Amino acid sequence: MPKSKRNRPVTLSKTKKKPGLERKGKVVAEIKDAIDQYSSAYVFTYDNMRNQKLKDLREQLKSYSRIFLAGKKVMQVALGRSPADEAKTGLHKLSKFLQGDSGLFFTKLPRDDVERLFREFEEHDFARTGSTATETVELKEGPLEQFTHEMEPFLRKQGLPVRLNKGVVELVADHAVCEEGKPLSPEAAQTLRLLGIQMATFRLYLVCRWSTDDFEVYKEGLAHIRADDSS
């Protein structure tokens, strides 16, 4: 009779922690360190996240600030969800604003400098599939001289009605690439990239701010995060 796998003894000394749990524990510890190191903390939200742009911003601010984008519950555990378990007085108030696409920003910068930084931060990039078109883009019938003849088969795959005319890529009829307010198809997103048209803007919005003697909510950021949750 075969032995049941359920009854096999397990040597506890050889069991390993799950990598996910270790990562979460590390993030909690790093946030707690940041709470001690920095004088104020903010919850922020964003539009059109671009990882490389965020990495560049982190590098720019690393001498006096720290940015965290992690699971909502992980960040809440580090801050505390109530006065009974908060890391510092009032910090639990930040936790309830960690909704949707949000993160934590710890800094030594004065409030005015932080508000200016977030207000002025804006990075343009190419829109991705499913993003909403910010304008209508139409191509008129005629030569598309910005493209080489080798591009003609690829352009046809993107839905453009093109042909080669004496080695020049030619649009044989007017073509609507995208319509303002409508989601971009994969073909439209690729065509806009080829045309060099950037429709995505990576922006940051402050939602609320904590310091040892103050707490405030930013109406614009709060409205933005609520709009994201309802969509």
Q: Is 101 helix (H, G, I), strand (E, B) or coil?
A: coil
User: Regarding the domain delimited by 25-125+200-230, which CATH topology (the fold level of the hierarchy) does it fall under?
Assistant: Alpha-Beta Plaits (3.30.70)
Taking only the tens place, the pLDDT of each residue in 65-100 is: 999 999 999 999 999 999 999 989 999 999 999 988
Give the whole-angstrom CA distance, residue 77 versus residue 215.
19
Global pTM value: 0.79
Asked whether 42 and 210 are in contact (CB, 8 A), the reply is yes
The domains spanning 25-125+200-230 and 131-195 adopt the same CATH topology:
no
CATH code at 131-195: 3.90.105.20
State the Cα–Cα distance between residues 35 and 195, nearest whole angstrom.
46
Mean pLDDT of 102-117: 96
Residues 6+ apart with CB under 8 A from 66: 34, 37, 38, 105, 106, 107
- Cα–Cα dist 64/51, whole Å: 20
Q: Write the pLDDT tens digit of every residue in 120-170.
A: 999 999 999 999 999 999 999 999 989 999 999 999 999 999 999 989 999
| Alpha-carbon distances of 108 from 13, 29, 42, 61, 145, rounded to whole Å | 43, 19, 11, 10, 52
Domain definitions of the chain by residue range: 25-125+200-230, 131-195
Q: Above pLDDT 90, what percent of the chain? A: 78
CA 31 to chain centre: 19
Q: How far apart are CA 5 and CA 92, in angstroms?
A: 45
The pLDDT confidence band at residue 196, using thresholds 50, 70 and 90, is very high
Structure confidence by residue, pLDDT tens digits, 43-57? 999 999 999 999 999
